[in-house]
Amino acid sequence: MPGPYKRKKYHYGDTHLKKRWRTKRRKKDLDQINEDLKPEKAAELLDQEVDLDKPGDAQFYCLHCARYFIDEKAMKEHFRTKVHKRRLKALEAEPYTIEESERAAGHGSFVPAKKRKMETQKPIEGDDDMT
> Which amino acid belongs to residue 30?
L
Other Cβ atoms within 10 Å of 71 Cβ, number = 13
Residues that bind Zn ion (CB under 5 A): 62, 64-65, 84
Residue ranges of E strands in the chain? 61-62, 67-68
Q: Name which of 28 and 107 has its Cβ closer to Zn ion.
A: 28
In the bound complex, what is the minimum distance in angstroms from residue 67's beta carbon to Zn ion? 6
Q: Name which of 81 and 101 has its Cβ closer to Zn ion.
A: 81
Cβ atoms of 94 and 70 within 8 Å: the answer is: no
In the bound complex, what is the minimum distance in angstroms from residue 28's beta carbon to Zn ion? 12
Q: Name which of 9 and 26 has its Cβ closer to Zn ion.
A: 26
Q: Name which of 62 and 68 has its Cβ closer to Zn ion.
A: 62
In the bound complex, what is the minimum distance in angstroms from residue 15's beta carbon to Zn ion? 28
CA 78 from centre of chain: 13
In the bound complex, what is the minimum distance in angstroms from residue 43's beta carbon to Zn ion? 17
In the bound complex, what is the minimum distance in angstroms from residue 64's beta carbon to Zn ion? 5
Q: Taking the CA of residue 20 as centre, how many other CA atoms within 13 Å lie in the half-sphere pointing to its CB?
A: 4
DSSP symbol at 33 = H
Of the chain, the end-to-end C-alpha distance in Å amounts to 82
Q: Name which of 64 and 68 has its Cβ closer to Zn ion.
A: 64
